[in-house]
């Protein structure tokens, strides 16, 4: 059996086109364009690629891009002051700080300073708490993008045995919450997990986000399972590979995401979706 490919690039394009159409409708009705501020501190090369792609996606969707690239030596106080300014600016609907930040910057204080109403990354403890209590407002982009992709398979998540490999704040933990809210039975595995292969082999759905090339072996995958690979790793020869051994896994899975062109494009499309929600559909009461 060879798996069906869950084509994130195509799903993201469809989502971005629907966002563009809505922005055009809202602007024609006199509403402002959604404004998104992506703050990047320093010059991490992978972050620079993401930030450039976010800028292009913003422009194509008809958003105002108010991104700021700050030098690596920018202080914590300067970043906080910029966030205060953007929080107060009514033309800015979404604010994110690209992670990782340089070592002298405390990301937790930065994330908590962003107004929960403009936290389109969904990383603020208020929004994490809303998701954890089944009252989501703003869900983190990568795991929420995965949920959009899973909906495209038409497979019911209720009652499925799901294994999430990786327990980060950006992917693993919000993915657990999203799947739990859909009534899947979720196991989260991490670097201290014993017998990972055995756990993955039990899963009807596997979501992997660890940042280790081909860490999950293809022959661990249960026949017919859905495999979602969040990893994007650049190899010395320039190839991009995921966290799952794709060529073998696709012979076991029913659905699988490719790398590149799987989850990656969904993250940016979901960021636009969250920002549009703030601009037009959200009556946020958080302080
Ligand atoms: N770095 C890697 N993924 C993300 C993300 O989704 N948001 C932010 N802010 N930084 C990231």
Is 167 within any annotated ligand binding site? yes
- Alpha-carbon dihedral sign for residues 240, 243, 248, 253: negative
* 287 part of the active site: no
The residue with tokens 């509403």 is 31
Pocket test for ligand 1, best of 40, 105, 107, 121 (most atoms within 8 A of CB): 121
Q: Give the residue extent of every domain in the chain.
A: 30-115, 141-264
pLDDT at 121: 98
In CATH terms, are 30-115 and 141-264 the same topology? yes
CATH class for the domain made up of 30-115: alpha beta
CATH class for the domain made up of 141-264: alpha beta
The C-alpha atoms of residue 225 and residue 203 are separated, in whole angstroms, by: 7
In this structure, the residue with its CA closest to atom 1 of ligand 1 is 99
Considering the candidates 26, 118, 121, 229, report the single residue annotated as catalytic.
Answer: 121
Query: Residue 162: CB within 6 Å of ligand 1?
Result: no
Tokens matching residue 160: 């499925």
Residue 257 CA to ligand 1 center (angstroms) comes to 20
Q: Which pLDDT tens digit goes with each residue over 127-155?
A: 999 999 999 999 999 999 999 999 999 99
Residue 170 CA to ligand 1 center (angstroms) comes to 7
Asked whether 226 and 203 are in contact (CB, 8 A), the reply is no
pTM, whole model, 2 decimals? 0.97
Is 12 within any annotated ligand binding site? no
pLDDT at 257: 98
Intervals of the chain under pLDDT 70: 1
Query: Residue 275: CB within 6 Å of ligand 1?
Result: no
* 202 part of the active site: no
Tokens matching residue 180: 């739990």
pLDDT at 283: 86
């Amino acid at each position: 059996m060879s798996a069906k490919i869950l084509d994130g690039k195509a799903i993201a394009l469809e989502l971005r086109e629907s966002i563009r159409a809505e922005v055009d409708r809202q602007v024609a009705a006199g509403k402002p364009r959604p404004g998104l501020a992506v703050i990047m501190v320093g010059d991490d090369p992978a972050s620079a690629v993401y930030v450039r792609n976010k800028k292009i996606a913003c422009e194509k969707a008809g958003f105002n891009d108010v991104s700021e690239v700050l030098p690596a030596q920018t202080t914590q106080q300067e970043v906080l002051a910029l966030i205060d300014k953007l929080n107060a600016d009514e033309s800015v609907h979404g604010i994110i700080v690209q992670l990782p930040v340089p070592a002298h910057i405390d990301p937790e204080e930065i994330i908590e300073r962003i107004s929960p109403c403009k936290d389109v990354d969904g990383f603020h403890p208020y929004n994490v708490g809303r998701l954890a209590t089944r009252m989501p407002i703003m869900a983190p982009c990568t795991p929420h993008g995965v949920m959009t992709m899973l909906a495209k398979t038409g497979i019911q998540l209720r009652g499925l045995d799901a294994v999430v490999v990786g327990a980060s704040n950006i992917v693993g933990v919000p993915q657990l919450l999203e799947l739990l809210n859909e009534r899947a039975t979720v196991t989260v595995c991490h670097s201290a997990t014993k017998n990972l292969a055995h756990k993955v082999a039990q899963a009807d759905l596997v979501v992997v986000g660890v940042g280790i090339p081909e860490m999950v072996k293809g022959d661990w995958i249960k026949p017919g399972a859905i495999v979602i690979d969040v990893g994007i790793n650049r190899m010395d020869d320039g190839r991009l590979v995921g966290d799952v051994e794709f060529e073998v896994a696709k012979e076991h899975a029913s659905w699988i995401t490719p790398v590149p062109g799987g989850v990656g494009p969904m993250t940016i499309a979901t960021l636009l979706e969250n920002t549009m929600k703030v601009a037009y559909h959200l009556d946020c009461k958080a302080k």
